[in-house]
């Protein structure tokens, strides 16, 4: 360091506790976008296999998560972990909902529950108000980079995702409104959570509906009924969708052959995987990777 009195007064930079904690996780952005409702509709008992952060650009939007009702307005931010069952819809017929959303995954897998606990503060659903804050700027910058695709856009987007997570953790002791005490999940919701968790944990096996029903201790017909009523699809269709979404990530982000990916997803034959991917995506795995 130069022999300068001004430099000599500078304290060395040391890593703080939150920075060390965040360094233990690898966050990868998988999907982002700006949702705009064209008419007042509602989603009931939906579930997504992603970590998700939403920033409300137009509201209000009414959410129900774990039996807790929340009214989100412009500038509010909501984080939900993978496979969270939620219901949502516009709260006023004269105001159609709009929000920016980020879907991401967390590695290593064995630390994912630690990350969820860190984000949720022991399972509580948190809503943050971020209008005219750095978080709003980060979201807008991410969308601008995604639209313009300038060189280095992915690295910049990833950096801002980390900044958003950091800001939410800094604010996690602040709740927008004091929500009512959560109501216990219904038996059907508990069963669906158990089935979805089992499917997510076993995507690398040749999963069958009968295997999932046995793991949940119910009949296949009852499992079909719960999935159809809650998610609008059969257990088999849900298994396929989870496997194909995982396949999309592996094709774009991993240096694995199509045969290796087929094995990773529990397909004994690469052709079976390719046919299933084509049916789901409308394109072959090799073509999807090339696009």
**DSSP class per residue in 179-221:** PPPPPPPPHHHHHHHHHHHHHHHTTTS---HHHHHHHHTS-HH
> How far is 139 from 49, CA to CA, in rounded Å?
21
Percent of the chain with pLDDT over 90: 15
> How far is 4 from 27, CA to CA, in rounded Å?
41
Percent of the chain with pLDDT over 70: 87
Task: Judge whether residue 2 has pLDDT over 60.
Answer: no
* pLDDT value, residue 224: 92
> How far is 35 from 150, CA to CA, in rounded Å?
23
pLDDT tens sequence across 41-61? 677 777 778 889 999 988 788
For range 160-165, the mean pLDDT: 91
Please give the model's pTM, rounded to 2 decimal places. Answer: 0.57
pLDDT tens sequence across 58-67? 878 888 887 7
For range 187-200, the mean pLDDT: 82
pLDDT band at 168 (very low <50, low <70, confident <90, very high): confident
Instruction: Please list the alpha-helical segments (H only) found in the chain.
Output: 5-8, 17-23, 112-120, 134-148, 153-170, 187-201, 209-216, 220-231, 235-253, 258-264, 270-281, 285-290
pLDDT tens sequence across 249-274? 888 776 788 999 999 889 988 999 99
Q: 76 φ, ψ to 5°?
A: -80, 150
Indicate the DSSP class of residue 25: -
Phi-psi map region of 152: left, alpha, beta (phi>0 left; psi -120 to 50 alpha): left
Contact 56, 33 (CB under 8 A): no
> How far is 240 from 253, CA to CA, in rounded Å?
20
Mean pLDDT for all residues in the chain:
82
Indicate the DSSP class of residue 77: E
- 171, 175, 176, 179: CA torsion to nearest 10: 160
- Give DSSP secondary structure letters for 259-272: HHHHHHTT-SSHHH
* pLDDT value, residue 85: 79
pLDDT band at 236 (very low <50, low <70, confident <90, very high): very high
Q: 164 φ, ψ to 5°?
A: -65, -45
pLDDT band at 172 (very low <50, low <70, confident <90, very high): low
């Amino acid at each position: 360091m130069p022999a300068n009195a001004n430099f000599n007064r500078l304290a060395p930079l040391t890593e703080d506790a939150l920075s060390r904690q965040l360094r233990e996780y690898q966050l990868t952005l998988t999907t982002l976008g700006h949702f705009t409702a064209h008419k007042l509709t509602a989603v009931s008992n939906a579930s997504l296999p992603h970590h998700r952060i939403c920033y409300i650009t137009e509201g209000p939007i009414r959410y129900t998560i774990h039996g807790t009702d929340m009214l989100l307005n412009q500038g509010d931010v909501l984080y939900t972990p993978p496979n969270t069952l939620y219901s949502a819809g516009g709260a006023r017929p004269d105001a159609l909902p709009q929000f920016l959303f980020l879907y991401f995954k967390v590695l290593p897998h064995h630390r994912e529950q630690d990350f969820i606990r860190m984000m949720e503060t022991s399972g509580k659903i948190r809503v943050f108000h971020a209008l005219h804050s750095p978080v709003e700027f980060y979201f807008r910058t991410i969308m601008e980079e995604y639209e313009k695709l300038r060189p280095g856009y992915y690295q910049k987007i990833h950096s801002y995702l980390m900044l958003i997570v950091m800001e939410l953790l800094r604010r996690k002791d602040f709740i927008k409104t004091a929500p009512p005490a959560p109501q216990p999940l219904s038996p059907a919701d508990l069963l669906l959570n158990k089935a979805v968790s089992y499917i997510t944990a076993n995507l690398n096996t040749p999963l069958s509906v009968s295997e999932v029903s046995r793991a949940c201790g119910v009949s296949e017909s009852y499992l079909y009924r719960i999935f159809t009523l809650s998610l609008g699809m059969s257990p088999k269709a849900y298994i396929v969708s989870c496997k194909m979404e995982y396949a999309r990530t592996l094709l774009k982000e991993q240096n694995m052959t199509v045969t290796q990916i087929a094995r990773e997803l529990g397909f004994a034959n690469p052709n079976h995987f390719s046919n299933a991917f084509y049916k789901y995506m409308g394109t072959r795995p090799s073509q999807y990777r090339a696009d």
